[in-house]
Amino acid sequence: MREITYLQAVNEALSEALREDENVFIMGEDIGVYGGAFGVTRGLLEEFGPERIISTPISESAIAGAAVGAAITGSRPIFELQFSDFVTIALDQIVNQAAKIHYMYGGAVSVPLVMRTPGGSGTGAAAQHSQSLENWTAHVPGLIVIQPSTAYDAKGLLHSAIENNNPVMFYEHKLCYKTSSVVPEGKYTIPIGVADYKRRGKDVSIVATGIMVHKAMAAAEVLEKEGIDVEIVDPRTLVPLDKKTIVESVKKTGKALIVTEAVKRSGFSAELAAVIAEEVSFDYLDHPIVRLAGLEVPIPYQPDLEKKAVPQVEDIIEAVRKMMGRE
């Protein structure tokens, strides 16, 4: 089967959804002629025209508000925020409108929209364009939150998100865009709320999200040469969360290392740790739960400092060695 990049996989899913359903349209800043800040929507304007690929003014609140209005009146809008940091500007429309309308109207109205947005560090974009704020929306009842790590997952989950009748927050890590994996041609879906084993192992479970899945995979290759067999679980969907798969993995290995890029304090790593603590008896655990996550600092612009602010492959290797009593 063919391999394509994460970026190409998202572009394919968007193209297929637009062709399949005339109620689907996309809007966002510079998504037309320019093809989006990272080129994800490149070529869509030429095929589908300006009525379905709508370049908007620079106003995230207006974009999100228009998407909510369109969704409750029968369309299936996809809106792109150039950087996930600017979800902060659109939070009222997302949190107080999109997330609550179905409930407040007794189920009579649905809000089938998808917010696509790139997040995370690693591109030298500095403090205002490099944050990982997915936990902010994961905290809100009524929102589905998806964070794919691979091209295969991104395409299948984006199709599922577009077909879902609830508001979906779809976070794409910038560094994932250039990664490649085997991706089928044509439409396919991946069930929302189902985690994936990215690697099977028996010594320690790493639960990682987004780009940290790739870093965990790289660390596992090094550790394998040292005789340490790492299992890697990718939740893929933060809300709803597949607790069963995570718990089964930790029960098997007896050790849990959680790796996320977002700031450790009150981040999604805390939710994952709490799930394990609540669901896995101490009889199964051979070591306290360990979290690796971002430092409590704004993301620096300087490349070396930027790397220091979030977990790297070497940090994962060191943490696993300590958990295995190798250091």
Task: In the chain, list all ranges with CATH 3.40.50.920.
Answer: 196-323
pLDDT at 60 over 80: yes
Predicted confidence at residue 237, as pLDDT, reads 98
Distances (CA, A) of 80 to 5, 38, 61: 19, 11, 12
Active-site choice (102, 129, 159, 173) = 129
Predicted confidence at residue 250, as pLDDT, reads 98
The domain defined by 196-323 carries CATH number 3.40.50.1820? no
Report which of 150, 155, 167, 160 is spatially closest to residue 193, judged by C-alpha positions: 160
Predicted confidence at residue 327, as pLDDT, reads 73
**Which pTM was predicted?**
0.96
Predicted confidence at residue 30, as pLDDT, reads 96
Joined together, the tokens standing for residue 44 give: 């869509």
pLDDT grade for 27, boundaries at 50, 70 and 90? very high
Helix H or strand E segment including 234: strand 230-234
Report which of 9, 13, 6, 14 is spatially closest to residue 31, judged by C-alpha positions: 14
Task: Report angle CA 302, 306, 310 to the nearest 5 degrees.
Answer: 175
Task: In the chain, list all ranges with CATH 3.40.50.970.
Answer: 3-182
Tell me the DSSP string of 32-92. SSS--TTSTTTTHHHHH-TTTEEE--S-HHHHHHHHHHHHHTT-EEEEE-SSGGGHHHHHI
Mean pLDDT of 7-32: 98
Pick the CATH number of 3-182 from 3.40.120.10, 3.40.50.720, 1.10.3210.10, 3.40.50.970: 3.40.50.970
Q: pLDDT for 114-139, tens place per residue?
A: 999 999 999 999 999 999 999 999 99
Residues 6+ apart with CB under 8 A from 179: 5, 6, 150, 151, 214
pLDDT grade for 202, boundaries at 50, 70 and 90? very high
pLDDT grade for 323, boundaries at 50, 70 and 90? very high
The fraction of the chain above a pLDDT of 70, given in percent, is: 100
- 164 CB neighbour count, 10 Å cutoff: 18
Predicted confidence at residue 235, as pLDDT, reads 98
Active site residue 102: no
Predicted confidence at residue 246, as pLDDT, reads 98
The fraction of the chain above a pLDDT of 90, given in percent, is: 98
What does the mean pLDDT of the chain come to?
97
Predicted confidence at residue 99, as pLDDT, reads 98
Predicted confidence at residue 282, as pLDDT, reads 87
Mean pLDDT of 56-65: 97
Q: pLDDT for 233-278, tens place per residue?
A: 999 999 999 999 999 999 999 999 999 999 999 999 999 999 999 9
